[in-house]
Amino acid sequence: MTAPPAIELDHLTRTFGKVTAVNDLSLVVPTGSIFGFLGPNGAGKSTALGILAGLDFPTSGTARILGHDVVAEAAVVRSTIGYLPDVPRFYSWMTAPEALDLMGRLFNLPDTLRKQRIEVVLDLAGLTGVNTPVGGFSRGMTQRLGIAQALINAPPVLLLDEPTSALDPLGRRDVLDIIGALAGRVTVFFSSHILSDVERVCDQIAILDKGEIKLESSMADLLVTSKSHRLLVEAASEHEATQLAELLRPESWASGVEQHLRHIDLTSSDIDAAQHRIPALVSSAGLGLRRFEIEERSLEDVFVDLVRPESS
Amino acid sequence: MSGFGVWLRKELLEITRTWRRVVLPVLVLFLAVMSPVLAYITPELLRSAASNDPGVVISVPDPTAIDAIRQWAQSLGQIIMFAIIIVAAGSVSNDLRDGTGQLALVKPLGRAAFILAKFVTQVLFLALVVAVGAGVCGVATALIFGETPIANLVAVTLAWFVFAAMFVALMTLLSTLLGSQAAAVGAGLAIYVLFSIAGIWKPAQEFSPAGLLAGLDELASGTRPDLAIPVLASLAVGAIALYVAVIRFERMPIRQSTL
């Protein structure tokens, strides 16, 4: 029998009145991956994470963590996850070790193990020896303590909701370093709208917009796609553009060939082939070429293309 | 009730480490001392006021230890109740508003345990503070009047405590349902006023928690009204309030902090 995936969403839907925050979301997060859950603000990322963490409830569909239903088996799920909200809040009168001790006690960790775990996660978060009340912490320190509390029970699955969005560049780097250090040991489900953060630490991604999955891919495949080039070709006439588009469509290096009057837009994953084949095709067909431009596409272009309002 | 003991420990620790350790004890102790003092000087103040106007004759009996206990009963039923309403109104909503509850509720802490630990902590703290307050009031009364009607003092404090514990349960419910301390204070004050008014109406006095509030003065004076039904009604109302709070909280989406 194969082990269940770390996270499995099956037609998950969450509505608030007439607003659909998460719409028929189906997703599988493989065990051991660092999964980037990308989307613009309001896409439904926090709602989905809230359901996984047991803070909210689905309107329909199911969500499972390590095979356990997050609603029906909430107690089991809560004992196997670590969760960090985008702005973690602690009791201001507690010190970091006290806050972690409280969380460790909630997991019923024995005294010796609890003390060990507190030392380990304080070290991981760079907070060893900090004994001032949490109320005086900077945002970066609070966020690092947030990660520490999420790891106190050594969870197999870690849910991080926008862990870097409120941080300055140094704080972001620290948090990403911590997440990167977990690779291979913990499944991390990491929501963000900061593409560079996702590119740096994630090996799988899904892009969410308006509550729906727009793209699900491994980071390696996405990087190949994102590193592809957009080409703009202008033929001598609309008729010749139609002919050239027909010649380009079967080419293996060309995708997304679209014609608009005399213009042809396409994407190429092999720029060398495109640079040689397009002039050759134009020449062999006896067509006229007015313009041939190459644009590099970034991961951001892929994201923007997927989540851009249709009107624009 | 997973995590109840851990959360109870945290709530008790919070009282000892924050402003909560000061506000209610200081208020209760102040009123405990002032109750016999006020009882002692009030007749003198009235006589003094009357002597300024030769046409007015006020006959005021000499103050007694009973008056001190009546004053204590009045303080419990009014000022201390208002303080309890204000403090208890934020018990659940403040944790949810601040986001502090969110981090705990994704751990193996049952939502029922979260609610009930808060209620139990408040009631335990209230019991301790009021017991000390009653003791101080008794000592101050003995020092000023030379005697303390201990039975009256105990009866008043116990009857009031049952009513107050019920009110803490009601405030826990309001704090859970309304999600705002200010809104819960408003609703709590409205309910308190309703109980006060209901206390004037005989059937409500006999068969509802309002009877406890209305009966405080009689208990202080040494008469013993039958408060068995109001006590049972208070316990029932308190239990129902907690039950509803837990049931509602079990299915309540916990939103991200907006601070």
Q: What is the ipTM of this complex?
A: 0.87
Least confident of A150-154, A192-196, B108-112: A192-196
pLDDT for res B176: 95
Each residue of B164-176: pLDDT tens digit? Answer: 999 999 999 999 9
Determine the Cα–Cα distance for residues A78 and A85; give it in Å rounded to an integer. 15
Task: Give me the architecture of the A228-296 domain, per CATH.
Answer: 2-Layer Sandwich (3.30)
pLDDT for res A227: 64
Q: Which residues of B touch A91 (CB under 8 A)?
A: 10, 14, 100
pLDDT for res A304: 75
Q: Where are the domains of chain A?
A: 7-224, 228-296
pLDDT for res B199: 86
Q: Parallel, antiparallel, or unpaired: how do β-strands A81-84 and A157-161 relate? A: parallel
- Within-domain flag for B162: yes
Classified as helix, coil or strand, A205 is: strand
State the total domains in chain B.
Answer: 1
pLDDT above 80 for A21: yes
Q: Tell me the average pLDDT across B141-149.
A: 95
Q: Do A103 and B253 touch (CB under 8 A)?
A: no
Q: Do A55 and B3 touch (CB under 8 A)?
A: no
Q: Do A79 and B254 touch (CB under 8 A)?
A: no
Q: Do B100 and A91 touch (CB under 8 A)?
A: yes
> For B182, how many CA atoms within 13 A lie in the half-sphere containing its CB?
1
Determine the Cα–Cα distance for residues B161 and B156; give it in Å rounded to an integer. 8
Q: How confident is the model at residue B151 (pLDDT cuts 50, 70, 90)?
A: very high
Q: How confident is the model at residue B221 (pLDDT cuts 50, 70, 90)?
A: very high
Mean pLDDT (chain B, rounded): 92
Q: Do A93 and B3 touch (CB under 8 A)?
A: no
Dihedral angle computed from the Cα positions of residues B35, B36, B39 and B42, in that order, rounded to the nearest 10 degrees? -90
Q: Which of A83, A89, A132, A137 to mutate to test binding with chain B, by most B CBs within 10 Å of its CB?
A: A89
Q: Which residues of B touch A149 (CB under 8 A)?
A: 103
Instruction: Tell me how close the Cα of A45 comes to any Cα of chain B, in angstroms.
Output: 12
Q: Tell me the average pLDDT across B41-64.
A: 78
> What's CA A212's distance to the chain center, in Å?
13
Q: Do B103 and A149 touch (CB under 8 A)?
A: yes
Q: Do A55 and B257 touch (CB under 8 A)?
A: no
Q: Which two tokens stand for residue B78?
A: 């009014």
Q: Do B100 and A89 touch (CB under 8 A)?
A: yes
Rg (CA), chain B: 21
Would you say the C-alpha torsion A102, A103, A108, A114 has a positive or negative sign?
negative
pLDDT above 90 for B31: yes
H or E element in which residue A234 lies: strand A229-235
The residue of chain B nearest to residue A107, with distances taken between CA atoms, is B108
pLDDT for res A310: 53
Q: Which of B106, B248, B256 to mutate to test binding with chain A, by most A CBs within 10 Å of its CB?
A: B106
Cα–Cα distances in angstroms (integers) from residue A167 to residues A84, A173, A276, in the given order: 14, 9, 46
Q: Which of B8, B96, B256, B258 to mutate to test binding with chain A, by most A CBs within 10 Å of its CB?
A: B256
Q: Which of A54, A57, A87 shows the shortest C-beta gap to B106? A: A54
Cβ atoms of B141 and B68 closer than 8 Å: yes
Question: Chain B within 8 Å of A78 (Cβ-Cβ)?
Answer: yes
Q: Work out the percent of chain A whose per-residue pLDDT is above 90.
A: 46
Q: Do B254 and A56 touch (CB under 8 A)?
A: yes
Question: Chain B within 8 Å of A149 (Cβ-Cβ)?
Answer: yes
pLDDT above 80 for A303: no
Cβ atoms of A63 and A51 closer than 8 Å: yes
pLDDT above 60 for A276: yes
Determine the Cα–Cα distance for residues B176 and B160; give it in Å rounded to an integer. 24
Q: Tell me the average pLDDT across A279-298.
A: 84
pLDDT above 80 for A283: yes
pLDDT for res A226: 64
pLDDT for res B256: 61
Q: Do B253 and A102 touch (CB under 8 A)?
A: no
**Model confidence pTM above 0.90:** no
pLDDT for res A298: 66
Q: Tell me the average pLDDT across B120-127.
A: 96
Mean pLDDT (chain A, rounded): 88
Cα–Cα distances in angstroms (integers) from residue B121 to residues A283, B101, B128, in the given order: 86, 16, 11
The residue of chain B nearest to residue A148, with distances taken between CA atoms, is B103
- Within-domain flag for B95: yes
Q: How confident is the model at residue A195 (pLDDT cuts 50, 70, 90)?
A: confident
> At A214, phi and psi to the nearest 5?
-100, -25
Which residues span the domain enclosing B210?
4-250
pLDDT for res B60: 76
Q: Which of A78, A86, A91 shows the shortest C-beta gap to B106? A: A78
The residue of chain A nearest to residue B97, with distances taken between CA atoms, is A89
Q: Which two tokens stand for residue A186?
A: 């913990």
pLDDT for res A218: 85
Determine the Cα–Cα distance for residues A100 and A295; give it in Å rounded to an integer. 50
Q: Tell me the average pLDDT across B147-167.
A: 96
Query: At CB < 8 Å, which residues of chain B contact A?
Result: 2-3, 6-7, 9-10, 14, 17-18, 98-100, 102-110, 251, 253-257, 259
Starting at the earlier edge strand, list the strands of the sheet with A157-161. A81-84, A157-161, A187-192, A34-38, A204-209, A212-218
Q: How confident is the model at residue A308 (pLDDT cuts 50, 70, 90)?
A: low
Question: Chain B within 8 Å of A47 (Cβ-Cβ)?
Answer: no
Question: Chain B within 8 Å of A303 (Cβ-Cβ)?
Answer: no
pLDDT for res A309: 59
Question: Chain B within 8 Å of A105 (Cβ-Cβ)?
Answer: yes
Question: Chain B within 8 Å of A97 (Cβ-Cβ)?
Answer: no
Classified as helix, coil or strand, A202 is: coil
Each residue of A220-259: pLDDT tens digit? Answer: 777 666 667 788 899 989 999 999 999 999 988 888 888 9
**What stretches of chain A show up as alpha helix (H) in DSSP?**
45-52, 74-80, 96-106, 111-124, 139-150, 169-181, 195-201, 219-226, 238-248, 271-284, 299-307
Least confident of A116-130, A149-163, A207-221, B95-109: A207-221
Each residue of A118-166: pLDDT tens digit? Answer: 999 999 888 998 999 999 999 889 989 999 999 999 999 999 998 887 7
Top pLDDT among A295 and A62 is at: A62
Q: Work out the percent of chain B whose per-residue pLDDT is above 70.
A: 98
Q: Do A85 and B253 touch (CB under 8 A)?
A: no
CATH 3.40.50.300 fits A7-224, yes or no: yes
